[in-house]
Amino acid sequence: MTEAASLERLLPQNVEAEYGVLGSIIIDPEALILVADFLHADDFYRDAHRTIYEVMLHLYNQQRAADFITICDVLESRAKLEEVGGASYITSLINQVPTSGKPFSVASSGQRHRSQQRLTRPKMTRPSWWSGPSNSSSRSVNVP
């Protein structure tokens, strides 16, 4: 695993929010309209979720519903269905959604985590406004 990939695994994440967003969109494809303006594929922590969301956006841009069958068909045509976990994984996304009416709030929560990642990622140094504890005069952030 590369250093960048290792670092990515340590950054703030909310995989449950990703399940909620994707599952909500599969249940109600029109829910994509609520999040498409601010939620991007690279906001997803899991590669499989990025791929699934890219397919959803692709279908939306083609004015096609991003429902279970259509998503699976597109993933299969791109030889990505098994890579994301298969149709059973897509089904599990649906089953993990408490309600389909909350994709905006779930996506917003995921967006906050992604914003935290962006703050942490660039140079791994503390910004000048940081007032947290420091064990040395170095401005580097210690990542476990």
pLDDT-based confidence at residue 140 (cuts at 50, 70, 90)? very low
pLDDT, tens digit, for every residue of 77-94? Answer: 999 999 999 999 999 999
Helices 47-61 and 86-95, packing angle to 10 deg: 80
pLDDT, tens digit, for every residue of 14-39? Answer: 888 899 899 999 999 998 998 999 99
Model confidence, pTM? 0.63
CA 38 – CA 134 distance, rounded (Å): 34
Domains of the chain: 3-120 (1.10.860.10)
